[in-house]
Amino acid sequence: MFCTYIKLLLMAVFWGGTFIAGRRLALEVGPFSGAFLRFLVASIFLIAITLQSEKRLMLPRPHLLIPLFLMGMTGIFLYNVFFLKGLKLIEAGRASIIIANNPIFIAILSALIFRESLNLVKATGILVSVTGAITVITRGEFLSGLGGGFGWGELYIFGCVASWVSYSLLGKSVMSNLSPLVAVTYSSVIGAVCLFPPAMLEGLGDFGSYSFSAWVSIFYLGFFGTVLGFVWYYEGIKRIGPMRAGLFINFVPVSAVFLAYLILDEPLTASLLIGAILVSSGVFLTTLGSRRA
């Protein structure tokens, strides 16, 4: 049990570290090329792990092909292109707190689309988390800062949120027919295949120009940020349940902010720290409200 908690804590740190690796990669490699190489690495490891776990990788049933394709296009293709485009323009810590609102928007749309209950605890969590995101975007200047604090970088990062929410809602139906590991493996492969043509047009073949730091970032994003983080997260869900395992996601923006400070020398401003606390608290309340519902 103790080992499971350690793995979940490391998972949160790994996912926080994707913003640092993404920032470094985005400043050197094009978004399509970076996203393709990340999921080329991830797909190789995911296929190997799936074959070991499931013994074989069966072709999905015909009615799942379109949802899996859409998962690959939203959660892999669009999310990661927006992710790298955004991180080229704004700080890693700032981006991580905006993206940490993913569960909030999933809860809102689940209530609207799937008629899931939205109780007082959930509603409070949504309000607290959105307040935290606004605090970060405006840098604490609520009345005058929104226009000046919102640019293309923030817009791309909100594109990440929209893409991941779509991916997650699609996954609700797909994962009732496939295991999470198989569904993620297929979506990863589909996303990587679709990323290949625009990556080639972008100049993917110019590997010689990539620095050692870029290759380390690619491997980190593909293996630690995608494969290992995913496997340990679902391992935690199996052993301690989704409620307790999901709480560790609250550490992701916190770890991202402090790693960005330590590795990228990004400043720890009051608005950033307050925003991280509010967003993490809001996600915790929303998760708690979902559990009670």
CA distance linking residue 171 with residue 267, whole number of Å: 36
- Residue carrying structure tokens 């990863």: 188
The b-or-e profile of 165-201 (16+ CB within 10 A means b, else e) is bbbbbbbeebbeebeebbbbbbbbbbbbbbbbebbee
Helices 79-87 and 152-174 sit at what angle, rounded to 10 degrees?
160
pTM assigned to the model = 0.89
| Tens digits of residue pLDDT in 116-125 | 677 888 888 8
Q: Which two tokens stand for residue 88?
A: 């080229």
- Residue carrying structure tokens 């990440």: 160
- pLDDT tops 70 at residue 241: yes
Helix spans in 27-101 (H): 31-54, 62-71, 79-87, 92-99
Cα–Cα separations (whole angstroms), residue 287 to 6, 113, 130, 206, 293: 21, 18, 15, 44, 10
Work out the pLDDT band at 141, boundaries 50, 70, 90: low
- The stretch 188-216 carries a mean pLDDT of 92
Of the two residues 145 and 222, the one the predictor is more confident about is 222
Q: What is the pLDDT of residue 112?
A: 78
- Residue carrying structure tokens 């509603």: 123
| Tens digits of residue pLDDT in 43-57 | 999 999 999 887 777
Q: Which two tokens stand for residue 176?
A: 């009732």
Of the two residues 85 and 286, the one the predictor is more confident about is 85
Identify the helix (H) or strand (E) that includes residue 3: helix 2-26
Tell me the domain boundaries of the chain.
Answer: 2-292
Phi first, then psi: give them for residue 151, nearest 5 degrees. Answer: -130, -160
Work out the pLDDT band at 25, boundaries 50, 70, 90: very high
Work out the pLDDT band at 140, boundaries 50, 70, 90: low
Contact 113, 50 (CB under 8 A): no
Q: What is the pLDDT of residue 30?
A: 94
